[in-house]
Amino acid sequence: MDDVLVTGLGALSPLGAGVDAFWRGMHAADTGPTRVPDPLAHMDHPLMYLVPEADLPDGPPERDGLPLGRGSQFALAAVREAVADAGLVAPPGPDMGPDTGPDAGPGAGPGAGPGALGGGVDPRRVAVALSTGMGDTDLHEGWWTGEAPASGRWAPAFPLASVVGGWLGAQGVNTCVSNACAASGYALSVGADLIRSGEADVVIAGGAEAYSRVALACFNRLGAIDPERCRPFAVERRGTVFGEGAAVLVLESATHARARGARTVYGRLAGAGWSCDAYHATAPEPSGEQIERAMREALREAGTGAEVGTVSGTGSGGLGFVIPHGTGTELNDVVESRVLGALTPRTPLYSVKALIGHTGGAAGAFAALAASLVLHHKTLPPNVPVGERDPECGVPLPSGSAPMTGAYGLVNAYAFGGNNISLVFGEAAA
């Protein structure tokens, strides 16, 4: 079976625009939420990790006459960087104006829209699998409060994948996954399946999430927002804090990547495991049986070994790190900690949510982005300090950076409805 490689990365996050900004932010380990600039955010804790104002995309405001919201704009920004990084879209030449090439908006000039794929890539073999929890809900929230887009036209809430596919000219499978906070993990797994089944050579996979007044208000009503920051595994944690942005990975078959001479391989998506708690609409199943099942399946498929206590290792073939789901909610963190303590003892954790908050439908993609960067740079950055640790969460959260000693990283993403997914990323073959 052909390896599924990661050949391009793109990001827009509370750390700024671009993958380099994300990696620098991981090492700085110094972030915090801010109050949302929304005069209608009448709630107890209107806090969020927001994309900096200076890094917000300048549109595009619409696609094919339909308005685009913040989620779609975030997704396009990350996709543009990822496909350019992978060498799938040629950068603009000296004779190309500012409205062409990979940085152009949909429908702008000869470098955008159908035919934007370069390097001899067959657009029929390029698929898009993106995810979101709230999509372009900001447009609909605006309509409810009398702030309709300039065009006044209605637009769907979940156009992300179709917008990206249209801009890129990708003619393969196009799907938007939306099973809450596990969505982008599922999108990445779907992408790997499309490649392994022979349905696609390249898949643009990831997720995007943007501020939604409704979503933040609902979690406030649930009492699930921490009044200070996102503090996974901390004894004083009181809930989660949302973040926004987009993370995109270009997945590609090893055969296709070699044939076109892909310039960078960040790693490979080596294993995936799905499960469902079938227990409760919002609460995790207390024993952790199904999240353990998903982890074991992903580790088994990756070939790391999945017997209790054997997958952690300091050797070159072992599991080097875990990027947990860990949201800062009480039961979620305890259950995941117990399973990790039994299955991957002593393996260090890196908490992306402590850095940029809980990015909902994009959380799995941001975790996958972080895992790919750790594998590529062979360094595990320091965790953001979360305060005193909960004694029931006996997992290692290193406070300093360290060289990565294992060849694999485990990524977890869980969601309402009991949706669970674990992914294993491995070093690229020499």
167-177 pLDDT tens trace = 999 999 999 99
Percent of the chain surpassing pLDDT 90: 82
Average pLDDT over residues 281-286: 93
pLDDT over 70 percentage in the chain: 91
Q: What is the pLDDT of residue 317?
A: 64
Q: For residue 90, is pLDDT > 80?
A: no
The pLDDT of 193-210, averaged and rounded, is 98
**Cα–Cα distance list, 255 to 2, 86, 196, 221 (Å):** 7, 15, 11, 50
Report, as an integer, the average pLDDT of 287-309: 86
Instruction: Kindly state the average pLDDT of the residues 135-145.
Output: 92
pLDDT digits (tens, 9 = 90+) for 393-407: 999 999 999 998 899
Strand bridging mode 267-276 / 4-13: antiparallel
Instruction: Give the pLDDT confidence of 235-253 residue by residue, as tens digits.
Output: 999 999 999 999 999 999 9
CA atoms of 199 and 210, how far apart (whole Å)? 31
The whole-model pTM stands at: 0.93
Residue 308 has a pLDDT of 42
